[in-house]
Structure 1
Amino acid sequence: MATASVLRLEDEIRTTSLTKRIRPEQFFLDFDPLRSGYVTESQFFRILWENLGVKLNEDQEKMVAAKYMFKGDGNVNYRTFCKVISQPFKADDLTRPPDVQKVDAKEFLGTSRSLQPLNEDQERRVEALLQRLNEFYTYHGINLRTSCEDFDWHHRGVIQESQFYRSFPKPPGVTDEDVFLLVLKYRDPDKPGLVNYLNIHHDLLAVSQRDSDIAKSAFPHYKNVTDYLPTQPDVDLTLQQIFDKIRVAIYKNRVRSIEYFKDYDRLRSGIITEHQFNSAIVLAIGKEAQLSPPEVQKIIEYYRTPDGRVQYKEFCDMLEHAFNVPELEKKPTIDVVRPPAGALGRNLPIMTDEDERRVVEVVNRLAEEVRKRRILVYPYFKDFDRANSYSRVITPMQFRRILHFLTLNVNEEDFKLLCRKFADQTSGDINYPAFVQTIDQDFVNYTQGLIQGIEYKSFPKFEDKIVDIRDVNMDDLMARIRHHALTKRLRVSEFFQDFDQLRSGSITKTQFRRCLSDFGLSTLGEHDLTDVQFEALAQFYKDPKLPDKIMWHKFMWDIESVFTQPGLEKDPTHQVPPSEMYLVPKPGTMQWEFASDEHHKLYNDTMTKWSERVKQRRVLVKPVFQDFDKHNNGHITRQHFRQCLRILEMSATETEMQAVEARFCDDVGFHYSRFLEELDPNPKTEMMYVKRIQNLRVVNDDKKAKEDHPVGDLESVLKKVKTMVVRERVRILEWMKDYDKLRSGRMPKSNFRRALDLCRLGLYESELALLEDHYKVPGYEDKVDYMSFTTDVESVFTVKEMEKAPLLEPERFKPPDDWSENQLSKDYEGYARNALNKMAERVRETRMQLFPLFEDFDEVHNGTVTQSQFRRVLCELELARMVPGEHEWVALQQMFGVRIGGKVMTNYNAFCDAIYGMAGFEWRRP
């Protein structure tokens, strides 16, 4: 009983190792550094659990340990255990055959057979269903296991019944009852609701193997594809014929024969033994040339030496120079022997007269069926030819599949004849180009060794057709082409210049037609250029020096005249005609100016009636027409036009309808876009671009900027410059010297102004004029001594040449505050002092803080607020009542006002310091 349990455990472990593709012995070697074949008991079961995923209970561990613990020292012989698991039979047991000793594992993935017992009728139905599924899956290349594995995340071989119904590839004709019977048969007995799809897959493989065995037993004499080849008749060929056959095989297969012989000739004497020669020639070219032993023996006898050996070097030289002459560069007048026509091709084998007649009958029948059904046969065969560079052969099995797919049915005997006739004599595969050419009259690809009695299609010969071009109106044709180039904004040279590599201005006639097609002059383009019209263009632009070429340069200039005229730089007074004159209506458009007065009156009355109706009802007309314009080309059919009128409830008589259609119809259809422009014209949008440009010109004419409070004397200008230099830390000399390359110390006035503008000092025109007059260079009216100017300005930092006066103490320039420069009248100064005294007394009594409220309104932290914000803060501090009248407010704003960005602001820092000072507080306190 214990032995059976151990065998069952070994079967489970064997199944797991086969499923996971694991070699158990590799994991035990890490714990056996001495390679003794033994590990401890704990190590043994830990390896099974961690690496194989097999967890044994205590009883099972005891049974396994008792079987493989040979020494009794607590170590387990893992090597014997791995042999039992990995080897299917005992290699050293010769008393019994291996098939008897073989131990097969159970189903993969650890599953067990889940076949449920059914009645006889259901069993027969399941057997027939498996047979049908095997045929369908084999033909279409379907694998049931692959289809169901997407739902089996843990790879256990079972999925849910609903998942099986979804993933099961059901052939045509298989009903839901058949699928339910299959589910009923293969339900897992231990896991309700699950289907063991893996067992179905294995049973399908068993059915496929059974069918293969039956087929082999039915046709025992066909073992491989080479058996389809006809047997070669025993013909006594001459030695020269044998050499010719070998030369052809060497040339076709690109064989270097010397490489097969020289390995036997270590001394490079050119002579080897008979046995070595026989082995080398068979290995090199025996199969390709189909050499028989008597033919090889003839070659050996011809090259045999007196001592019994064979001269292979002469034989190889003869083969290597097949269809060639050695040292041909030294013999320029010699005639090289060429292979006969068809010798290097794949010739079809010759069969008996009866078989040849039968092949012709079968091929003619297939050719007639291909012609009636208009089947393009070659692509189906080419899809199966996946070898490198297309080997142009397929296997007989692929040949059978393609004929079945094309429903070109032939019986078994005729199929064997076709395989024999079109078999490649080297590989035994089917030469499908030759077969396709025999049944498809429109395919021409194979020319050697064709079947006699069948008419083959030859390559067509293209000859120039004589076309009558007298009915072609060249003016109208050129107008159409110019209209196409103008509306599509196409440059003709872009389509032609790639074909004229030498820039000769001429291309061939076929290239000209191809370029016109790319230009849009084709059936698929905007304008359908007929053969007669193309011939007229070709005759008109024919090159007089080269009659077979077309002057595309002349054609290009004739078409691109819609954009410009060549040589305008030589004639600047030439008036180029407007591009609108090259626009032409679509073909088939009625010339409205030649219509009768009655037609005009009828059309105008109809359009007036419809226009008034559209305006009264405020109908959106365009969407109704656009629904019928699938190509968005502005045209619909006449029937659709009348249908649109019925939808819009715009009635008209047949005469009125015909008058409107005659106005807007052309060869494309009814031009509803032009119709809507006259029926419901949209107001034209006024182009404001011209007016905008005129306004900008008026604004830019007055380039002189308005000066806001300029300084009137030189000292004030220099003070202003020095103040900006100190505050912005600007080195004016760095900007000036770039305009004085020779370092002469002077520069033009324009450059002087340009340099000061780059310094961003904010000087006005009058202030710059004062500086230019003061620093003017004597003798040069348009020059400025910028060195003196920079010296005066930079004196705010230091004194020039101070190293010559070490005891000199320079005075530091301190820029004054902006508000301190404000000058008030005596009355306003009194008003301001009175208001400040009252507010200072109030601040001294209450010890209030002034800065926080002002800082809340100073977002940029520049120490200023607006006049309204200044009043608001004083109101919140209850200091506004200390300013009784408007004069006091104006006085305060004039005293502490500063100009920032052209706007007058109030310096609240100076105001607060003044209040704190008058109240007797320490500076910046409280």
Structure 2
Amino acid sequence: MHCKQMKLLDVWRICNKIRSAIFRVGFNLWDYYLPLDPHKNCLISESAFVSVLSGSLRSTIGLSDYEIGELTDYFRVQDGRIFYTQFCEVIHDSIPEFSKNANLVTGLEWEDPLHVNRLSTSEERRLSLLITKISVQVNLRKLVLRPFFQDYELVAKNNGTVTIAHFARVLAYLDITVSSDDFNLLVKKYMKDSYTLNYVAFVADIEATVDYLERHGCLDLGGDIMSQFPGRVINAELPKLPRPEIGKIMAASVFGKQSIFHPALNAPSQRQSLLEIIRRIQRHVLENRIRISDFFEGFDSLGSGKITASQFHRGLDAVGISGLQRLYISLPEIKTISIQYQDPIDPTRVCWKTFADDIDQVFTVKNLERAPMLQVASPPREVKELPKRGTKSWDNVNPSMRDLCEETVEKVKNRIMRRRILLKPVFRNYDKHNNGHVSRSQMRQSLLSNGILLSDEELYALEERFNDDMGFNYFWFLKEAEPKPHEEALFTGFLEAMEKVNAEKPCKPVDRSEKDIILILAKIKGKVVRERIRVIEFLQDYDLCNQQVISRENFQRGLSNCRFDLSEAEVETLMNVFSSPMRPGCVDYKRFSEVVEEAFTQACMERAPLLMPKQHVPTKDCARNFLNFDERRTFSIGIQKLSKKPDLQMNLMSIFKDYDRTNCGTISQEHFLKALSLRGMYNLISRTEFDMICKCFSFERGLRDEIDYRAFIKALDILYATDKYNPF
């Protein structure tokens, strides 16, 4: 009984092993055994049963021969066949099908896709105002929020939820500015599973709010909340409590003490004049190269030159935030401009065309064609010298304060020179935005940390001079306080070098050969024969009227295109020789071309049919292969020695051709020496004679001198033939 029990346990373990493989891979044993039983009698042979488990399914299930034998013994009937249907039922019928089971947890709150958490009454009111504000921004910008969250869901498979970090990144990407308290409120409302947010419920609340506002007529045509709407959301950027100190901070005395919340001590703040506002807009438009009419033409569909006050307000906002710098225009300033350019017929509209013309005067003056003698200054002096916002007119300041400021700046300058102090790195540590401004307290700390001790009166004088609406302008302060040594411009040396390059070259003495027309024509003919150039093709393009003559300037241009490498004296000689007798200042290029063409043929050959023309043979003589008397004598002795063994006997040409792979007729001096050594001719001459032979037959190719071996072989043949038939 004990052995039987162990066998059954082994069979059950083998069946569990097959079940795990079926659950992992997903195959069906019926598909393998039913084709082996065509009579449907539920029995197959033992070999067929074993072939399935040890064949195609062996690598999938991983059964050993012993395990297959145990299964075969267990499911074998009396006649020796295998009861495979019982085996398949044991394997497949014991696997639970979870898809057919009903849900054990239904109706719970967290299964709802729009599930949100509960908040207190005050938090719900804050959340409603926040959702309304976000909905207005989404409606104004025509945003669709769902795709931004679904991109994350396609990757993470979170089924309608995103992480808190991704939710914050989406809001930041859409420029939906939310404070930390408001963001914590959103997280508290839409939190799910303790680490994700239900963005489906958030988007549904935004869409429902937008539908409610549109359905009840709370939005204007621009998509913003109407000003008459009693439940209009307060802008979160405005202060929640009154701030009486804004705009009323002023100095109570020359000691720099300031009085805040004391209206009796403060003078009434003066509004900025309309002219200064217009100049600041002109300065902003000039610096950023803005065409201001582009911001208002979209609102004026009929081209009447007039738009509503709200549209004019939006246009000014767009002008202020465009460009590289931001121009802040407050509501009172916008109202002042709107009143100035108000339509006299319809008070609700603004003449934007007139406003744009006034602003564009910073570039030019309208209808300038009617006053051609008018001198236009662009930009105007008033706009160019406009001080920054918040600075005082230094000419209108008390003279005692101005003198004190100058003395303070000079004092700081002397202290910096004596102690070799660098103030700019200290100021830069406080200037996180790199806009050239620090606060008043940071300015005092920077001076104090460098040992520059100033009194309250002196510090206040510096603030009066260098303060603006952004703070203390330390760029301007260091420009006057830090002494800079005189440094020579970096381009000075380069400028001197360019002046030397572009300076007129000294006149060289004219060589006698440059005045010889025969040598000049021989040089041109040699160039023409070697490179096959037609000179008339380069010159006749300048003769538009076919007058057979061209100007001297055009003649020089044509010769430069031919690349004859002629000097100025040689060109001048050609122009004097071929000058036109009937047209002063012109050159008879036709006659010059015919003379050059004589290198190939002769003119009027039809009158002498029996005459055989001879082509010009260009010489290769130059300054490189010129030999004096002693060198010619040495060369003559050496070539006479080599002519005793001509090419017919030594077969030098075959060696030279082996070294001349490009078949250009020249080889290097090393190959020339090797060729003479191979034929034993180098031993006949000395080293000096060899150098003279190389110099005589040298030919410039590229950046080195090579040997014209063809001319050398020809010279040897001529000398051998001359010596052979010499009777003496």
Q: Which one of the candidate residues 443, 464, 488 is aligned to 1:641?
A: 443
* Residue equivalent to 2:58: 49
Q: Which one of the candidate residues 12, 17, 36 is aligned to 2:17?
A: 12
Per the TM alignment, residue 614 of structure 1 is displaced from its structure 2 partner at its CA by: 0.7
Give a deviation string over 1:374-425, Cα, whole Å, max 9, x none: 6646799999x989xxxxxxxxxx9xxxx998679xxxxxxxxxxxxxxxxx
* Residue equivalent to 1:511: 311
Q: Which one of the candidate residues 89, 104, 126 is aligned to 2:95?
A: 104
Q: Secondary structure at the match of 1:611?
A: helix
1:461 aligns with 2:228: yes
- Cα distance change, pair 659–897 in 1 and its aligned pair in 2 (3 A): farther
Per the TM alignment, residue 591 of structure 1 is displaced from its structure 2 partner at its CA by: 2.7
What is the CA–CA distance in structure 2 between the aligned matches of 1:434 and 1:915, rounded to whole Å?
100
Q: Secondary structure at the match of 1:47?
A: coil
CA contact (8 A) 1:916 1:922 kept: no
* Residue equivalent to 2:173: none
* Residue equivalent to 2:70: 63
- Cα distance change, pair 836–79 in 1 and its aligned pair in 2 (3 A): farther
* Residue equivalent to 1:531: 331
What is the CA–CA distance in structure 2 between the aligned matches of 1:32 and 1:774, rounded to whole Å?
114
- Cα distance change, pair 795–6 in 1 and its aligned pair in 2 (3 A): farther
What is the CA–CA distance in structure 2 between the aligned matches of 1:673 and 1:745, rounded to whole Å?
70
Q: Secondary structure at the match of 2:373?
A: coil
- Cα distance change, pair 597–536 in 1 and its aligned pair in 2 (3 A): closer
* Residue equivalent to 1:816: 619
Per the TM alignment, residue 650 of structure 1 is displaced from its structure 2 partner at its CA by: 0.5
- Cα distance change, pair 405–566 in 1 and its aligned pair in 2 (3 A): closer
* Residue equivalent to 2:261: none
What is the CA–CA distance in structure 2 between the aligned matches of 1:26 and 1:731, rounded to whole Å?
92
Task: Tell me the TM-score normalised to structure 2 length.
Answer: 0.60
CA contact (8 A) 1:840 1:915 kept: no
Query: What RMSD, in angstroms, separates the aligned Cα atoms of the two structures?
Result: 6.2
Per the TM alignment, residue 534 of structure 1 is displaced from its structure 2 partner at its CA by: 0.9
Q: Which one of the candidate residues 671, 675, 679 is aligned to 2:477?
A: 675
Per the TM alignment, residue 805 of structure 1 is displaced from its structure 2 partner at its CA by: 8.4
1:582-597 correspondence to structure 2 within 5 Å: 582=383, 583-597=385-399
Per the TM alignment, residue 528 of structure 1 is displaced from its structure 2 partner at its CA by: 3.1
* Residue equivalent to 1:571: 371
Q: Please tell me the residue identity of whatever aligns with 1:13.
A: I
1:556 aligns with 2:356: yes
What is the CA–CA distance in structure 1 between the aligned matches of 2:532 and 2:453, rounded to whole Å?
85
Q: Please tell me the residue identity of whatever aligns with 2:563.
A: R
- Cα distance change, pair 68–771 in 1 and its aligned pair in 2 (3 A): farther
* Residue equivalent to 2:257: none
Give a deviation string over 1:8-56, Cα, whole Å, max 9, x none: 3233212222222334566789x98999997574454221123x2x222
What is the CA–CA distance in structure 1 between the aligned matches of 2:541 and 2:12, rounded to whole Å?
101
- Cα distance change, pair 784–602 in 1 and its aligned pair in 2 (3 A): closer
What is the CA–CA distance in structure 2 between the aligned matches of 1:770 and 1:864, rounded to whole Å?
38
Per the TM alignment, residue 485 of structure 1 is displaced from its structure 2 partner at its CA by: 2.9
What is the CA–CA distance in structure 2 between the aligned matches of 1:28 and 1:922, rounded to whole Å?
106
- Cα distance change, pair 82–897 in 1 and its aligned pair in 2 (3 A): same
1:627 aligns with 2:618: no
Q: Please tell me the residue identity of whatever aligns with 2:277.
A: L
Give a deviation string over 1:82-127, Cα, whole Å, max 9, x none: 66544x3xxxxxxxxxxxxxx1369x9xxxxxxxxxxxxxxxxxxx
Per the TM alignment, residue 573 of structure 1 is displaced from its structure 2 partner at its CA by: 3.3
What is the CA–CA distance in structure 2 between the aligned matches of 1:481 and 1:434, rounded to whole Å?
38
Where does structure 1 lack aligned partners over 5 or more consecutive residues?
A: 89-102, 109-205, 217-221, 226-362, 388-397, 409-428, 449-457, 464-468, 845-850, 866-876, 884-888
Per the TM alignment, residue 622 of structure 1 is displaced from its structure 2 partner at its CA by: 0.6
- Cα distance change, pair 493–386 in 1 and its aligned pair in 2 (3 A): closer
Q: Which one of the candidate residues 723, 727, 732 is aligned to 2:530?
A: 727
* Residue equivalent to 1:300: none
What is the CA–CA distance in structure 2 between the aligned matches of 1:34 and 1:731, rounded to whole Å?
98
By relative contact order (CA 8 Å, sep 6+), the higher-ranking structure is 2
Per the TM alignment, residue 434 of structure 1 is displaced from its structure 2 partner at its CA by: 13
Give a deviation string over 1:704-724, Cα, whole Å, max 9, x none: 997975632443332222211
Give a deviation string over 1:63-86, Cα, whole Å, max 9, x none: 334567889899x89787666544
Task: Tell me the TM-score normalised to structure 1 length.
Answer: 0.49
CA contact (8 A) 1:745 1:787 kept: no
* Residue equivalent to 2:292: 492
Per the TM alignment, residue 584 of structure 1 is displaced from its structure 2 partner at its CA by: 1.8
Per the TM alignment, residue 4 of structure 1 is displaced from its structure 2 partner at its CA by: 5.0
Q: Secondary structure at the match of 2:350?
A: strand
Give a deviation string over 1:809-845, Cα, whole Å, max 9, x none: 5434321013389888xxxx4343455578889999x
Give a deviation string over 1:540-561, Cα, whole Å, max 9, x none: 1224455443333332332233
Per the TM alignment, residue 477 of structure 1 is displaced from its structure 2 partner at its CA by: 1.7
- Cα distance change, pair 838–16 in 1 and its aligned pair in 2 (3 A): same
Q: Secondary structure at the match of 1:614?
A: helix
Give a deviation string over 1:322-354, Cα, whole Å, max 9, x none: xxxxxxxxxxxxxxxxxxxxxxxxxxxxxxxxx
- Cα distance change, pair 483–80 in 1 and its aligned pair in 2 (3 A): same
- Cα distance change, pair 562–897 in 1 and its aligned pair in 2 (3 A): farther
What is the CA–CA distance in structure 2 between the aligned matches of 1:735 and 1:435, rounded to whole Å?
78
Per the TM alignment, residue 642 of structure 1 is displaced from its structure 2 partner at its CA by: 0.8
- Cα distance change, pair 676–670 in 1 and its aligned pair in 2 (3 A): same
What is the CA–CA distance in structure 2 between the aligned matches of 1:740 and 1:567, rounded to whole Å?
46
CA contact (8 A) 1:897 1:906 kept: no
* Residue equivalent to 2:177: none
Structure 1 stretch displaced more, 690-699 or 584-593: 690-699
- Cα distance change, pair 708–689 in 1 and its aligned pair in 2 (3 A): farther
- Cα distance change, pair 369–764 in 1 and its aligned pair in 2 (3 A): closer
CA contact (8 A) 2:699 2:708 kept: no
CA contact (8 A) 1:838 1:882 kept: no
Query: Percent of aligned positions with the same letter in both sequences?
Result: 28
Q: Secondary structure at the match of 2:514?
A: coil
What is the CA–CA distance in structure 2 between the aligned matches of 1:906 and 1:839, rounded to whole Å?
24
Q: Please tell me the residue identity of whatever aligns with 1:477.
A: I
Q: Please tell me the residue identity of whatever aligns with 1:480.
A: R
CA contact (8 A) 2:625 2:695 kept: yes
- Cα distance change, pair 565–386 in 1 and its aligned pair in 2 (3 A): closer
CA contact (8 A) 1:11 1:105 kept: no
* Residue equivalent to 2:178: none
What is the CA–CA distance in structure 2 between the aligned matches of 1:80 and 1:810, rounded to whole Å?
117
Q: Please tell me the residue identity of whatever aligns with 1:643.
A: Q
What is the CA–CA distance in structure 1 between the aligned matches of 2:361 and 2:11, rounded to whole Å?
99
- Cα distance change, pair 446–834 in 1 and its aligned pair in 2 (3 A): closer
What is the CA–CA distance in structure 2 between the aligned matches of 1:487 and 1:404, rounded to whole Å?
42
Q: Please tell me the residue identity of whatever aligns with 2:417.
A: K
* Residue equivalent to 1:615: 417
Q: How many residues align?
A: 568
Give a deviation string over 1:357-384, Cα, whole Å, max 9, x none: xxxxxx9x9766623776646799999x
